[in-house]
Amino acid sequence: MKPNLTQKNREQLFFIYFMDCQTPRKPGGGRDQTWEIAELAVRGLYELFAGRGLEHCLGFCSEPELARRQSGLLTEMVANGCWHALHFQVRGYRPPGASEDYDWHRPMTWYDYDEQREAIAIAKDDWEQSMGMAADSFGACCAQANDYTFPILAELGFRQSYCSAPGRWNPNPEVGHLWHGAFPHTHHASSTCRLIPGELELYEFPITRGLDPIPAGQPGTWTVKDCRAEAELSFEDTMAICRASVEDQMRRDHPVLYLHNPTHNTWDVGDRTSGRRRAVETTIDVGYALADELSLELTPCSLAELHAEADRLNAY
């Protein structure tokens, strides 16, 4: 019987941007972050994207603690057309009604199946109660996850995620980045291994980044460059990363072409003089320029929409 091969879309370049909305003073957040800055960041980023008619591709990915504290702000952004996700950092997480925090020094990477499933289920419920909506997308703070994470997310009903950081490798117990050899572009996740495409309905979205890991400082550790606003990359450097990623997707006949870039709620995006603000604007400019260069239509979209497009193409 003739197999049903994966097809590819070579008309559109999908463009996704998201803000990790982290809890002030928890691991992963900015050192001097405040709740006020957290709100300014969200409002500033929304205004920037809305000003360019791109609010539809903008995601606010919030920790449960933050969704509790700023639910009004986040539901306002839902009404504005942005997509949302649960962003989760287990280190220091205190569930509603609990008397103590989860371990502040133990990344999710080291959680076994049962304890990981329990923590993520609690966090999902926590977030959903605050937001009054189902959480169908998940982001792993600091790319901390392991082989159990994808099947747990699928089991809990998540349909999209960004957990992996292909190329990052740091087995330090306080870091837990075990992504050497991870599949570099979007794919359905696997229930047997975190690194490969698989059979799960859950669709994983690695962010746009350099494809060749570089030494991360400590011997035996590797990292990759990405286009996060905090890096304040120039147009040329941003374009180099984005172009290499899309060219790699094209050379390997990846079903969908996409750019997926982040920032964090740790700075005032509304400050037009900020170098980070200019970096966000640059990322958008690069998206359009690259689409033009490759004769593609830049298509702002959410994680769920790109997942739907991948499924239409019978993507792995």
Partner 1 sequence: MRPQLAQTNRTQLFFTYFMDCQTPGKPGGGRDQTWEIAETAVRGIVDLFEEEGLIHGLGLCSEPEVAARQPDLFNEMLGRGTWQAVHFQVRGYRPPGAAQDYDWDRPLSFYEYEEQREVLAIAKDHWEQALGREALDYGACCHMGNDWTFPILDELGYRQCYVSGPGRYNPDPKVGHFWWGAYPFSHHASSKCRLVPGELELYEITVTRTLNPEEVRPGVWMPTDYRPELERDYDATMAIAEAWVQDMIRRGHPVLYLFAATHNTWDVGDKSHPRRKALETTIQVSRDLADRLGLQLVPASMADIHREADLLNAF
Q: Which residues bind partner 1 (CB under 8 A)?
A: 1-6, 113-114, 147-148, 151, 155, 169, 178, 180-181, 183-184, 187, 190-193, 195-199, 212, 248, 251-254, 314-316
Residue 6 or 234: the one with the smaller Cβ distance to partner 1 is 6
CB 314 within 8 A of CB 4: yes
Minimum distance from residue 156 beta carbon to partner 1 (Å) = 12
- Smallest distance, Å, CB 310 to partner 1? 12
| Nearest one of 193, 187, 196, 200 to 157, comparing CA atoms | 200
- Give ∠ CA 30-32-33 in degrees, rounded to 5: 60
SS3 of 203, please? Answer: strand
Pick between residue 29 and residue 198 the one whose CB is nearest to partner 1: 198
Minimum CB distance to partner 1, residue 222 (Å): 9
Residue 253 and residue 8 in contact, taking contact as beta carbons nearer than 8 Å? yes
How buried is residue 148: exposed, middle or buried, by Cβ count under 10 Å (0-12/13-18/19+)? Answer: buried
The alpha carbon of residue 302 and the mean position of all alpha carbons in its chain are separated, in whole angstroms, by 11
The single-letter DSSP state of residue 61 is: E
Query: Shortest Cβ distance from residue 3 to partner 1 (Å)?
Result: 4
Buried-state track 83-103, b at ≥16 Cβ within 10 A, e below 16 = bbbbbbbbbbbebeeeeeebe
Nearer to partner 1, 11 or 253 (CB): 253
CA 127 – CA 302 distance, rounded (Å): 19
Shortest approach of partner 1 to residue 81 CB, angstroms?
33
Q: Which of 50/211 has CB closer to partner 1?
A: 211
Task: Give the separation between CA 68 and CA 62, rounded to whole angstroms.
Answer: 10
* Contact call for residues 72 and 131 (beta carbons, < 8 A): no
Tell which residue, 261, 275, 255, 259, has the closest CA to residue 315: 255
- Residue closer to partner 1, measured from CB, 151 or 262: 151
In terms of CB distance, is 3 or 97 closer to partner 1? 3
Burial track 215-246 (b if 16+ CB lie within 10 A, e otherwise): ebeeeebbbbbbbbbeebbeeebbbbbbeebb
CB closer to partner 1, 87 vs 187: 187
CB of 291 to partner 1, least distance (A): 22
Closest approach, Cβ 285 to partner 1, in A, equals 28
Q: How far is the CB of 59 from partner 1 (least distance, A)?
A: 26
Q: Closer to partner 1 by CB, 49 or 179: give it.
A: 179
